[in-house]
Structure 1
């Protein structure tokens, strides 16, 4: 599974081959640095760890400073491991420690990718916004201030408790969300930009992981 780490820039729209106006998300993908390479002999599986974004050295532990020093790179803000990472890099199938991976090395236009991001936090919300409840719908017949209420949440004498997982009000958003089979519409390698069809979870400038 190949992939890359990026930053969500925002949304725009472009025209595809059929002349249709397609909404897309602009992601600044890479360049990422190979900070660790795992193999079957020493780790039991093959994987490549990529680092993206810069981080102040004072905010990095001594152990992580040594980790980044091995790959001869500055401390990175985001580290993601990709198992069975395969990419054609300068004529070789395998990447080495310290290599820089760009979006053009991993993706081509027309590929289908999976996008992983952290959804926008909505704070504490009611059941209508959080779970899509319809409410009572009719304000007559004694329904006073009950239009957006959750309704019954359980029986009284048995089981005398509320079951776990009951759809109720609570904190919404801020979850890890993965969207599957998003099409790569366009790649701008000189600016490390990739345009993905549709929306991608997360706010602007948030970190996004793209998997192939």
Structure 2
């Protein structure tokens, strides 16, 4: 009985050691490849099977100026959002300069990135995530979207197309995978009864 208990305990200890080792390898990522610990599982754009299969990969980043590649980096992050700041910091550390203007696609848009660029004195030209959909008629006619409301700065309230007022009812704090804390103000309409233009999403 004692021998069986010791064997069970040894099994648990070995599993705990293995789990701890894998957590250490992962770091702040959510996965790694067993054959290449530095690779992270990502969804590929060129997915021939079109089944969203994850594959071990790296996120390559290039900085281009006047059609010349001026810097490149390889990152384990599956999304571009979290590679912008490390890429620019790496560029600055090695080149010693910062670009005055930065152009990037929608994959790099985030509050954290915008604030970083502003603090460093860099003008950003990043395509908004909702740029394409915001041009559609359905989006423009949706009175429930903040972009389609009037903001009354003196009162800190929004007013929808029906004249209903949305007042501050609280704040919500969220923390990104990089540790950045974002605080958003919540506006709520006190009474939407009888409004025939409400669109539920």
Please tell me the TM-score bracket, short chain as reference: under 0.3
> Which structure shows the bigger proportion of residues in strand conformation?
1
Compare CA radii of gyration and give the structure with the larger one: 2
TM-score, structure 1 normalization: 0.18
Richer in helix (by share): 2
TM-score with structure 2 setting the length: 0.19
Higher RCO (C-alpha under 8 Å, 6+ residues apart): 1
